[in-house]
Structure 1
Amino acid sequence: MAQTIRVLSALLIAAFLLISGAGLQGTLLSVRGNIEGFSLVLLGSLMSAYFTGFTIGCQFAPHMVKRVGHIRSFTALASIASAAALAHALAVNPVFWILLRVIAGFCLAGLYMIIESWINEGATNERRGRVLAVYRVVDLSAGTVGQALLATADPADFYLFALVSILISVALVPVALTTTTQPTPITSADIDLKKLFRISPLAAFGCLSVGAANGAYWAVGAVYVQKLGYDIQTVAAFMTTVVVSGALSQWPLGHISDLFDRRILIVAIAALSSAAGVLLALTGGQSEFMLLAGGAAFGFTAMPIFGLAVAHANDRADPHEYVTLAAGLLLLYGAGAIVGPFVAPIIMQNAGPQALFFYTSSVYAALTLFGLYRMRRSDATPPEEREAYVSVPRTSPAVFEIDPRGEHEEDESADEAAEDDAKGETA
């Protein structure tokens, strides 16, 4: 295992730098836009624009890799993403910023996809789960660092935009200098959304809900804290607290979900997340302690729902459907994250900053009710047919190929190939 990590260390370092830069950039733009007097709807549009570019990138980036290879594609996409980060500081214009966010979403989708497909190539079936666990640690650590960096300088200055650009640019170095063999060209998965909803309506609706609620949080969560009157250090502490608490909940909740009907846990966690939203809306402005406590409760409950939904969908799918199913759920998350940041700011403009978490509470209340409805309509998956829960980052569809649950797909494809060879020899 140590040898595998050493081989993949350059890619993991690149991923850490990219995720740190992307995390800082998303929060920085919300804070800086608020300072510049952008409306809440415009601030939400920045996140919607990012996920618009992200979903486009998930579909078209593989074609770029097929044409020019992994390293050249990574170099081009990272250079554009780095330039886009700096360009925000050159012209503070909402339309220009929205265009830059589309570009950033497209580039980062491709960058994550390249790194993850490369990591997948170097992960043997025996070590795939441990490699994914290491990648998840890198993802969560980088997300925490990215949010914490917001407190290192004044968001009204050029410094933090330059820092984002530096992080993305330096991510080029380990990839350009790696001696790891380039993987085979990646392919975009064919996604059948109708089939996805048919396999697991609760998982599909759950991923849409997480995108709509958490996408709104990522879009204007920092602005919510600002408008309550807190300083930038408190904004950074709040955003970091949500990430850390979400990281801490992944494994214990995942383990519990392997022991019981996963739908019960999804419903329970969605209900608790709805309650956490109400707590934040009612008490977040009373004190910094109440703000951070509410943020911890929200992160602990809202962040693991996507992984629980993916695991529930896998329980009901055939093994060979796993990668395309998970990729479809990620794109549903992206679709929700396009819509949520539009809706929540409109509500906030009319009802105040606390309305953000009344909105997330409503979304998770709807998921709770839908989960209860689905439990009445269908039986639980037998324990022996459940797939083990695996915490997977929401970065690109390629990350699901690293998941050890995808081994079944590889094995099945190998068996089919062997059968075809046998038939050919017989003929």
Structure 2
Amino acid sequence: MSPQLLAMVLAPLLGLFVVCIGNGFISSLTALRLDASGASDTVIGLVSSAYFIGLTLGAMFNDRLIVRIGHIRAYSSFASLTAVTILLQGLFFDATAWFAFRLIGGWAAVGVFLVVESWMLLAGDQKMRGRLLALYMIALYGSGMLGQVKLGMIDAWGETAPFMVAGMLASLSVLPMVILPRVSPPIEHVEPLSPYRLIRMTPTGVMGSFGSGIAIAAVYTLLPIYLQRIGMDVFQVGQMMASTILGAMVLQYPVGRWSDRQDRQVVLIALGIFCTALSVLIVLLPNSPTLLLVLLFLLGGGIFAIYPVAVSHSADRAPSGALVRMIQGLLLINSIGSAVSPLIITPAMSALGEPGLFWSFVVLNLCLTGFFLWRRNARPAPIPVAPFEAAAQMTPVGAEMRVTEDLEQGALGHELMEDLSAVVPDVEVATPVMEDIFNHAVPEPGAASYLPDTADGKSGTYDASPEMRAAS
């Protein structure tokens, strides 16, 4: 990465890192404080859902505001509003007020993400998006992990200290943005594919995205309550949450590389079984802090990997012209799952006690595994057509960062495969031809290449078309 490109993205990434340190542990702290005050699981679920509802609404409408007032002013407005809502939480301890503060805070937080992601899209070309996405994920997950690690220390400073620190961090995150030269990256209004079209195009991707949203939101909002109820203090809760997020960051890439060499539906099935087994072990094994730390590390890696693998599976089927809109639509489905997650799982925790969280994970992952098995039998997955791109939860605009040149070329190759299969019905004949294209074995213009022997023992020739040569 060139020094010039790094200089362009350093300020927004630094701003994101600073604001997310506080914003990350506030989600855990909100649930912990409500639980410690004796609030019911239903109330905790409603307040926790408010943040994700705000995220969903902001992702749909905040881009229009950014177009009107520009990126720097928009970032300053969103970060300031984030700081105000966090500080108000420290002043007014009331569940109804906290619902409103978390709703507005989610709306403002996704505005910050929109500014940062669209800025990074402008900074680099398509070939650089993979590296920019990696930097984005390091800033997002690294800040969340750091915030959780420091939660116990900051909480020891006083009852309102965590809210003051998080509010100050949100305010300070404006500084890297405002000291830059005035830049206003272009941004277009987002129109993701409708849920109906997504379900017709990729049922596995829709179900994986929705289920992943439920699980990830439960990790951020309800896992701290479970840890507190089994006797851990705030410091220990922060350590456990940090281990979970670290697992999400570390294990996502190797799982993705595995999905490049394997049927992605098989990987999704394996992840569902893996998360189910870990959830059962957490409930049944003795509450050893060290063992729980390891199990949560593995569980975080499994839960957070489902979404990017599901999106990659969907990209294997999508036409090249619909890739961005498809990923945006799956992100919306994921956000809806996050919004309803606490409302679905808190009744189970009320009925079954603190283990209800992990029994909910068991039921959720068994349902996902069963669905993935059914879909694989109904329609086997295609061979992966492009390298896996790791992904965090992003805004619809930032979803474009995932659409690299390799992914577009893979989708184009998938379209050519379908066209060739229509001309050459024998899949055993058509597939090696496309594999030659993917392996850059397309001959020079005008040269002939030979099809494998057909069932009747005859051979044929074809002349590589310009479109096929472009796909190589």
Using the alignment, how far apart are the partners of 2:288 and 2:207 within structure 1? 35
Gaps spanning 5+ residues in structure 1: where?
413-427
**Structure 2 matches for 1:382-393, cutoff 5 A?**
382-383=383-384, 386-393=385-392
Runs in 1 of length 4+ with deviation above 4 angstroms?
A: 406-410
What's 1:228 paired with?
Answer: 230
What's 1:182 paired with?
Answer: 184
What's 2:252 paired with?
Answer: 250
Classify the secondary structure of the residue corresponding to 2:140: helix
Using the alignment, how far apart are the partners of 2:55 and 2:386 within structure 1? 28
Considering fraction of residues, name the structure with more helix: 1
Q: CA deviation at 1:346?
A: 1.2
**Structure 2 matches for 1:206-225, cutoff 5 A?**
206-225=208-227
What's 2:145 paired with?
Answer: 144
Checking the alignment, whether the CA contact within 8 Å between 1:17 and 1:171 is kept in structure 2 is yes
Using the alignment, how far apart are the partners of 2:11 and 2:188 within structure 1? 19
What's 1:277 paired with?
Answer: 279
What's 1:194 paired with?
Answer: 196
Checking the alignment, whether the CA contact within 8 Å between 1:47 and 1:218 is kept in structure 2 is no
Q: Tell me which structure has the larger Cα radius of gyration.
A: 2
Between the aligned residues of both structures, percent identity stands at 27
Using the alignment, how far apart are the partners of 2:122 and 2:250 within structure 1? 28
Task: Provide, for residues 254-303 of structure 1, a one-character-per-residue CA deviation record: whole Å limited to 9, x for no partner.
Answer: 101001110000110111011111111223x6221232122122112111
What's 1:420 paired with?
Answer: none
Classify the secondary structure of the residue corresponding to 2:222: helix
Distance 1:408 1:288, change over 3 A: closer
Checking the alignment, whether the CA contact within 8 Å between 2:387 and 2:407 is kept in structure 1 is no
What's 1:125 paired with?
Answer: 126
Classify the secondary structure of the residue corresponding to 1:82: helix
Q: CA deviation at 1:403?
A: 2.2
Distance 1:169 1:120, change over 3 A: same
What's 2:2 paired with?
Answer: 2
Classify the secondary structure of the residue corresponding to 1:303: helix
TM-score by length of 1: 0.92
What's 1:286 paired with?
Answer: 287
Checking the alignment, whether the CA contact within 8 Å between 2:14 and 2:173 is kept in structure 1 is yes
Checking the alignment, whether the CA contact within 8 Å between 2:218 and 2:341 is kept in structure 1 is yes
Distance 1:186 1:17, change over 3 A: farther
Using the alignment, how far apart are the partners of 1:259 and 1:205 within structure 2? 22
Moved more, 190-199 or 147-156: 147-156
Q: CA deviation at 1:180?
A: 6.3
Classify the secondary structure of the residue corresponding to 1:327: helix
What's 1:241 paired with?
Answer: 243
Using the alignment, how far apart are the partners of 1:82 and 1:55 within structure 2? 19
Q: CA deviation at 1:21?
A: 2.0
Checking the alignment, whether the CA contact within 8 Å between 1:282 and 1:354 is kept in structure 2 is no
Higher RCO (C-alpha under 8 Å, 6+ residues apart): 1
1:212 maps to a residue whose letter is I
1:395 maps to a residue whose letter is M
Using the alignment, how far apart are the partners of 1:360 and 1:211 within structure 2? 12
Distance 1:266 1:409, change over 3 A: closer
Task: Provide, for residues 101-146 of structure 1, a one-character-per-residue CA deviation record: whole Å limited to 9, x for no partner.
Answer: 1101111111101110011000122322112112222222112112
- Structure 1 residue 364 corresponds to structure 2 residue 352: no
What's 1:342 paired with?
Answer: 343
Checking the alignment, whether the CA contact within 8 Å between 1:48 and 1:338 is kept in structure 2 is yes
Distance 1:406 1:181, change over 3 A: farther
Checking the alignment, whether the CA contact within 8 Å between 2:129 and 2:404 is kept in structure 1 is no
Using the alignment, how far apart are the partners of 1:387 and 1:197 within structure 2? 22
Classify the secondary structure of the residue corresponding to 1:388: coil
Checking the alignment, whether the CA contact within 8 Å between 2:71 and 2:183 is kept in structure 1 is no
Gaps spanning 5+ residues in structure 2: where?
412-472
What's 2:300 paired with?
Answer: 299
